[in-house]
Amino acid sequence: MKNRTSTLLIDDIPIAITRRKMKSLRLRVCPQKGDVKVSAPHFVARGDIHAFVVKNLDWVRSQRAEIANREVVPVRLMQTGDSIPLLGQTFRLHVEGGVSRPSLKCLADNQLLMRLPVSAGLVEQQQLIDTWYRDQLKLAVPPLLERYEPIMGVAVKQWGIKKMKTRWGSCNITARRIWLNLDLASKPAQCLEYVVVHELAHLLESGHTPRFWAIVDKTMPTWRAANLILNPRSRK
């Protein structure tokens, strides 16, 4: 059965409902804009979804208020002395200007040397960091696949890295292809490990069913700590 989407309006708050193959209701408030989303099994009545949201409405309001009241931080260029996170490590940035071609080089003792033309801005800086992150993930992912594929009895035909706004990973079961969010490079290594296990588990169970979570739990018993880092506002 295909996923179906609809919208429910409660106290002027639009609730995006996605019907999935799963066993229980899941409510979350997206940290970017405060969008409220519910994942629901196909068999759950719309009235039961309404009651579920109403029961958690105070929590929804508090999360949305927190997001709305965030202080707007002025955008500034990366500077020497800034910390750049990578899979649980911290790298110290050194910025030099006046070159013709931008570059980023990893030095000893977790130091990063960023060299930029005078006209370069934050976009060029972020592109350098993103390229570095991508290269580091390309090194970190294969050992995880080599470790967990035989344990779980699955095999990925293709995997890739891309920026995703609302997901940490995705899995195309038919193509046996998984995608990993580039931003995982800035998180602790256990988060990347969890997302790899999570997506591999989808090759065995497509939905977030009790069987799916049992597979994840058996494969990586410490997954909840990583999930809390990645999805602090999720209620499962």
* pLDDT tens track for 31-71: 878 899 999 898 989 999 999 999 999 999 999 888 887 75
* pLDDT tens track for 188-227: 999 999 999 999 999 999 888 999 999 999 999 999 999 9
Instruction: Please give the Cα distance from 110 to 112 (Å, whole number).
Output: 7
Q: State yes or no: pLDDT of 1 exceeds 60.
A: no
Beta bridge partners of 155: none
Instruction: Please give the Cα distance from 200 to 152 (Å, whole number).
Output: 8
137-230 is classed CATH 3.30.2010.10: yes
* pLDDT tens track for 144-162: 999 999 999 999 999 999 9
Share of the chain above pLDDT 70, in %: 95
Three-state DSSP class for 171? strand
Instruction: Please give the Cα distance from 212 to 205 (Å, whole number).
Output: 6
Task: Tell me the CA distances in angstroms from 121 to 20, 72, 135, one per residue in order.
Answer: 43, 20, 22
What is the residue-averaged pLDDT of the chain?
90
pLDDT-based confidence at 179, cuts 50/70/90?
A: very high
Domains of the chain, by residue range, sit at 4-68, 83-134, 137-230
